[in-house]
Amino acid sequence: MDLKRLSDVVWEVPQAGGMRVPGRIFADDALMEVVMQDRSVEQVANVAHLPGIVAASFAMPDIHWGYGFPIGGVAATRVSDGVVSPGGVGFDICCGVRLLASAFTEADFEARRAAVMGELDRRIPRGAGKGAIAPGTIVREVLADGAVAAVRHGYGHPEDLERCEERGRSEGADPDVISEKALVRGREQLGSLGAGNHFLEVQVVDRVEDPAAAGAFGLAPGMVVVMIHCGSRGLGHQTCTDHLRLMGEAMRRHGISVPDRQLACVPIRSREGEEYLAAMAASAKFAWANRHILAHEARQAFATAFGVSEARTGMRLVFDVAHNLAKIERHEVDGSPTEVCVHRKGATRAFGPGHPDLPEDLRQWGQPVLVPGSMGTASWVLRGTDRNPAFASAAHGAGRLMSRKQASRRSPGREVRAGLESRGISVRPLSVSLLSEEAPYAYKDVDVVAEVCERAGLATRVARLRPLGVVKG
Q: Which residues are catalytic?
A: 396
Say which residues have a Cβ less than 8 Å from residue 336's Cβ, sequence separation at least 6: none
Query: Do residues 298 and 104 touch, judged by C-beta distance below 8 A?
Result: no
> From CA 148, how far away is CA 410, in angstroms rounded?
44
> From CA 238, how far away is CA 236, in angstroms rounded?
5
Query: Do residues 229 and 396 touch, judged by C-beta distance below 8 A?
Result: no
SS3 of residue 188 by DSSP: coil
Helix axes 180-187, 233-254, angle to 10 degrees: 160
- Phi and psi for 418 in degrees, rounded to 5? -60, -40
Q: Which residues pair with 393 in a beta bridge?
A: 349
Q: How many other C-beta atoms can be found within 10 angstroms of the C-beta atom of residue 304?
A: 17
- Using DSSP bridges, classify how beta strands 96-100 and 317-322 pair: parallel, antiparallel or unpaired: antiparallel
Helix axes 233-254, 271-306, angle to 10 degrees: 170
SS3 of residue 264 by DSSP: coil
